Structure 1
Amino acid sequence: MKQTYRSKTAYVLAWIWLVFVALNVVDLVVRFSGKASLVALAVLAVLTALVYAVALRPATVLTEEGLVGRNPFRTTFLPWASIDDVGVSHSINVRYGDDQVLRLWTPMSSARERAKAQRRGAPAQQRGRFATEPALSKGEQAAAEAFAGKTHADWVGDQIRDRAESAKRRSKEAGPARVTWSYDSIAALVVALALVVAAVVA
């Protein structure tokens, strides 16, 4: 089963930005005024290429065959059995091969999110003689215990670790890691730079 994890905040903000850019491009084309319009288009193109590379493209994908880490300009595929260790700090760091490290761009955990997770994991204080919090169902209690003290990045790191260990228990052969360039991000930047050159030359 394929599971994709990304920063929801960055993803939503990126789509809001794309709608804003689309409206501005239509306005600039309709009211084209020479070099000023070209400069505005070039600025929008550069910012949009960066937003695409940093906010829309990054994702952590768990497939049946292995882990796919999509970073701004590279995609790394790691078969589950090739993963040696998984550590989580600000980002998820996956060790493989000859002490190589894949740093996943998403999900990340901020200091604020980690502090919130630690507060959530602390035992609830009961005030007075009577409990004021509603009683949780067994399912809610199990979910609360599973996420106690953990950020989203910690949870995804656990999923990666569990799948890697399961593949090794099945004595699955570790295939080679594959790293490829992100041609879509590079193409977006090339188009943006072409517009910058056109704006300067015009």
Structure 2
Amino acid sequence: MTTPDDQPPVPDASRPESKDRIYRSHAGIASGVLLLALAGWLGIDALVSGHGRTPWLALAALILLIPLVVAFTLRPAVYANEDRLRIRNPFRVIVLPWSKVASLRSGFSNEVVDTSGTKFQLWAIPVSLRARKSAARRQARSAAADSSGRTSSVMTGSTRSPSDQIMDDLRELAEARAAAEGAQGEVSVRWAYEVLGPALAGAAVLAILLAVG
């Protein structure tokens, strides 16, 4: 006979599943689409109209270039939820539980440092020095208006550049969740073989064609 103590535990549904906040570079995506369109146009033209080795060279170049363009423009993304930070860079995917995040730094690039001192760049959150300077000017105007007693038309949230504001949000999340039970674990790093494989294959075929002459 089964007693209440023998019943399997019921999953705790009181805590809803945390959804990811997704950060990507819109400028990177736009440039990637344009580069892919240009490569496709030139490559298809060479495949259709080329003579001799030209179609084969064009095909090998496309196999090499398309994965690289995707890797550096469309692929980068940062996913953050209450338990961990997942970074999808051009050639690697890094997962850091918040307990393993030592700091998030902003300089000429944005990066995260884990508790062992290893640095990982956030490709999906590029630094725009122009946007940072523009935000600094807005902040100076806002401070000047406040000191003179005038009402500033510049909202507080707009005195930070978009990438710096994202890094501030990630820092707050890291500090708030570092000690949480669900934010424990180890750092994992996985190479993006789905990008490296085709790119290396294209490079090998292109090298062979060029060597054969």
User: TM-score band (shorter)?
Assistant: 0.7 to 0.9
**Structure 2: tracts of 5 or more residues without a match:** 1-18
Of 68, 79, 84 in structure 2, the residue corresponding to residue 50 of structure 1 is: 68
CA distance in 2, matches of 1:9, 1:17: 12
Mark the CA change 1:48 to 1:173 in structure 2 (over 3 Å): closer, same or farther.
Answer: closer
**SS class of match (2:178):** helix
- The alignment's TM-score, normalised by the length of structure 1, stands at 0.80
Contact 2:83 2:182 in 1 (8 A): no
**SS class of match (1:195):** helix
Runs of 4+ deviating beyond 6 Å: none
Alignment-derived partner of residue 175 in structure 2: 165
Structure of greater relative contact order (alpha carbons < 8 Å, 6+ residues apart): 1
Contact 1:82 1:177 in 2 (8 A): yes
CA distance in 1, matches of 2:104, 2:195: 27
**Structure 1: tracts of 5 or more residues without a match:** none
Contact 1:77 1:178 in 2 (8 A): yes
Is 2:86 the partner of 1:68? Answer: yes
After TM superposition, the structure 1 stretch with the greater mean CA deviation from structure 2, 61-70 or 44-53, is 44-53
Residue 4 of structure 1 and its aligned partner are, at CA, apart by 1.7
Query: What percent of counterpart residues are identical?
Result: 27
Over aligned residues, Cα RMSD in angstroms? 2.6
Q: How many residues align?
A: 189
Alignment-derived partner of residue 5 in structure 2: none
Alignment deviations for residues 124-151 of structure 1 (CA, whole Å, 9 cap, x no partner): 578xxxx9xxx96xxxx6xx30231x22
Residue 32 of structure 1 and its aligned partner are, at CA, apart by 4.1
Contact 2:87 2:122 in 1 (8 A): yes
Alignment-derived partner of residue 193 in structure 2: 183
After TM superposition, the structure 1 stretch with the greater mean CA deviation from structure 2, 36-45 or 51-60, is 36-45
Which structure has the greater CA radius of gyration? Answer: 2
